[in-house]
Amino acid sequence: MSSALVLSIDAMGGDDAPEIVVDGVAHFLKGRKRAVRFLLHGDELQIAPLLARHEGLAEVCDIRHSDSEVDMSAKPSEAVRRARGSSMWNAVRSVKDGEAQVAISAGNTGALMAISKVILRMKKGVHRPAIAASWPAPTGFSTVLDVGANVDCSPSQLVEFAVLGEAFHRAVHGEKAPTVGLLNVGQEELKGGQTIRDADALIREADLDLDYQGFIEGDDISAGTTNVVVTDGFTGNVALKTAEGTARLVGGWLREALTSSLIAKIATGLLSLGALNQLRAKMDPRNVNGGVFLGLNGVVVKSHGGTDALGFSTSLRIALEMADSRFLSEIERNLERLSALQADTVSEGETA
Amino acid sequence: MSSALVLSIDAMGGDDAPEIVVDGVAHFLKGRKRAVRFLLHGDELQIAPLLARHEGLAEVCDIRHSDSEVDMSAKPSEAVRRARGSSMWNAVRSVKDGEAQVAISAGNTGALMAISKVILRMKKGVHRPAIAASWPAPTGFSTVLDVGANVDCSPSQLVEFAVLGEAFHRAVHGEKAPTVGLLNVGQEELKGGQTIRDADALIREADLDLDYQGFIEGDDISAGTTNVVVTDGFTGNVALKTAEGTARLVGGWLREALTSSLIAKIATGLLSLGALNQLRAKMDPRNVNGGVFLGLNGVVVKSHGGTDALGFSTSLRIALEMADSRFLSEIERNLERLSALQADTVSEGETA
């Protein structure tokens, strides 16, 4: 019991909370042998009857009552001011207090990021946290960051993301020496603006012990050309949602193709038994739902606000992988090098 | 004969030119009744024997010999200096001289853009041309621009793209009143930087007679939420290539699923007869290959450099659609409004 991992959940975050959250926990537990416990932060009156619907679920969950919750549409600055004591605040607080290894919320992204920064604080050497997404690739997953925390990024922030993303990929996806690429556009003459060129130069100059491969393009993400894809939060967010939209469109076409005629229906009937279900699962964005906040003294996972129980259970799986991983220790080595680099840059600046 | 449309082709542009270019023309002509003629600019000694491989092809093609071609990797500024008399230069020149309605090249994008600007010049009211892509959506196509001509875009350039894209969509995709959206990221608090907010305000304030719907997100592109998607060339290029990469990944999974077992193979055999081939065609990026340069006094279509004959024939189809369309006249109305807006902005600036 003492070795059980504990996940701290904002049970009130998300469009259909707390119902899909509790159902998500139940779905996550199906067939799982490993001991995991859950802290469910939120309105006890709503949560308790939902737990009772699933046999045995109440036994692995502790409800932590909170009177308030963060508004899905609140601005982060406002949200933080009013957040103390809310289900989201308390969920992150449990990680800070050492009661849980990871916090998970499907609530307001900006508020969750702001609250996480206030409570957990940034790791030394990191100026801005990033959100990392695990992206399907032919052989496993690519790690893409930032997918939405920072709209504008300086070159040195992009370098920090490279360090964070490399450690994340090593810890979570088990690659010993992940390759890192910087997202850019096509031909030489159309190469990205000064920020990206500066970031490229900075990573190359720094002795970061990273397998940095230089510029990559949008189609390299799904091709898995590099394990880690570094970009600003605007581009990363657009890319992630574009890929989700494409997968959804193609999924619709596939359904159409498979039900377009009697012969197609018979054929599909044969296929459904096997590989087609796997394909459907691979194409389902709910199976990669969960952005991990990197750069904080503690791990926070953000689920899509509009997800369902299956999607929320994926976030819990990702949270568990993070809790199980050595991410927080993996990252220390690189951050030390980064700090040294930053100190160098400052002293160079002073002497120049 | 006098009513035949004429397409002017840079036969030497692209990785596998002139072979795939000539094969692409032949593929394009299969089963087509409409009279179309082609000017093939390039090395006559290479092109003539390729034409001879396809029955009747030489009759609809005029070879225009040129001694030089633009290097695929040359910087645009260099390329323009050396380009005079090259196959690419002459292909665009034929449009300027009224010999052809549209120029097509699979060569160096930056060079083609630079040469097109020099020869055709920008339309009045347009400061920077954009590249528009037609993007598969559930009901037809969305138009996305810019997908690679301008890495950094000012708010007023984004407004110009809205005007150009709306006229393009109306002319080419036949929508009477296309809706227009501005690509941005998720939640309110993470909304894009100042440039995008300013562009949003500028489009709203301007009396452009556009059905502007405000901000949209990456997944709205494939969903067809708006007909036209406006973004800067960096984000647009990343989004386009990300979607292509995703389609390719899913295509690979699909092939795997359909050949994973004997039952799957039998089922696939039944399916292949019908809808599955349509699905494959829809997912094939070669079937949407062709970026259209907008904002110039004349139409230029850019094919992927690495495409094959099928992909090049798609560019020719897009070129023909442009030639057939009333794009150049459709755009005049909006450009007049835009010029008026710009005049207002300038005079406001002067009095401020």
Candidates B352, B24, B324; CA nearest to B173 is B324
Q: What is the mean pLDDT of chain A?
A: 87
pLDDT for the residue numbered A76? 81
Close Cβ partners of A166 (under 8 Å, ≥ 6 residues apart)? A178, A180, A210, A228, A334
pLDDT for the residue numbered B189? 47
Residue ranges covered by each domain of chain B: 1-120, 127-296+326-352
Q: Tokens at residue A253, please?
A: 């076409």
Q: What is the DSSP letter of B308?
A: -
Chain B residue numbers touching A111 (CB-CB < 8 A): 189
Neighbours of B177 (CB within 10 A): 12
pLDDT for the residue numbered A2? 45
Residues B25 and B317: beta-carbon distance below 8 Å? no
pLDDT digits (tens, 9 = 90+) for B214-236: 999 999 999 999 999 999 999 99
Helix B76-83 to helix B109-120 angle (10° resolution) is 50
pLDDT for the residue numbered A95? 97
Candidate from B189, B237, B242 with C-beta closest to A243: B242
Q: Tokens at residue A287, please?
A: 């199976």
Dihedral angle over CA of B301, B248, B220, A15, nearest 10: -170
pLDDT for the residue numbered A349? 42
Residue A190, CA distances (Å) to A187, A317, B157, B301 in order: 5, 40, 17, 17
- Could you tell me which CATH number the domain at B127-296+326-352 has? 3.40.718.10
Candidate from B73, B235, B252 with C-beta closest to A188: B73
Q: Tokens at residue A130, please?
A: 């990033």
B189 and A270: CB-CB below 8 Å?
no
Interface mutation vs chain A, best among B241, B254, B255, most A CBs within 10 Å = B241
pLDDT for the residue numbered A1? 40
pLDDT for the residue numbered A275? 64
Q: Where are the beta strands (DSSP E) in chain B?
A: 5-10, 36-42, 61-65, 102-105, 130-137, 140-145, 179-183, 211-216, 228-230, 291-294, 299-302
B282 and A253: CB-CB below 8 Å?
yes
pLDDT for the residue numbered A149? 84
Residue B198, CA distances (Å) to B57, B190, B204 in order: 52, 15, 10
Interface mutation vs chain A, best among B15, B195, B242, most A CBs within 10 Å = B242
Candidates A236, A245, A178, A246; CA nearest to A212 is A178
Interface mutation vs chain B, best among A152, A187, A268, A286, most B CBs within 10 Å = A187
pLDDT digits (tens, 9 = 90+) for A31-46: 787 789 999 999 999 9
* Distance from C-alpha of A254 to C-alpha of A256, rounded to nearest angstrom: 5
Instruction: State which residues of chain B have pLDDT below 70.
Output: 1-3, 187-192, 263-264, 267-277, 283, 341-352
Higher pLDDT, B264 or A137: A137
B190 and A151: CB-CB below 8 Å?
yes
B186 and A271: CB-CB below 8 Å?
no
pLDDT for the residue numbered B271? 62
Residues B120 and B95: beta-carbon distance below 8 Å? yes
Which residue in chain A has the smallest CA separation from B109? Answer: A187
The interface pTM score, or ipTM, of the predicted complex is 0.84
pLDDT for the residue numbered B349? 42
| DSSP-based three-state secondary structure for A33 | coil
- Model confidence at A226: pLDDT above 90: yes
Candidates B38, B132, B59; CA nearest to B331 is B132
Candidate from A242, A249, A253 with C-beta closest to B239: A242
CATH superfamily of B1-120: Isopropylmalate Dehydrogenase (3.40.718.10)
Close Cβ partners of A307 (under 8 Å, ≥ 6 residues apart)? A14, A20, A106, A286, A289, A315
Residue type, B131: I
* Distance from C-alpha of A213 to C-alpha of B49, rounded to nearest angstrom: 42
pLDDT for the residue numbered A270? 64
* Distance from C-alpha of B114 to C-alpha of B112, rounded to nearest angstrom: 5
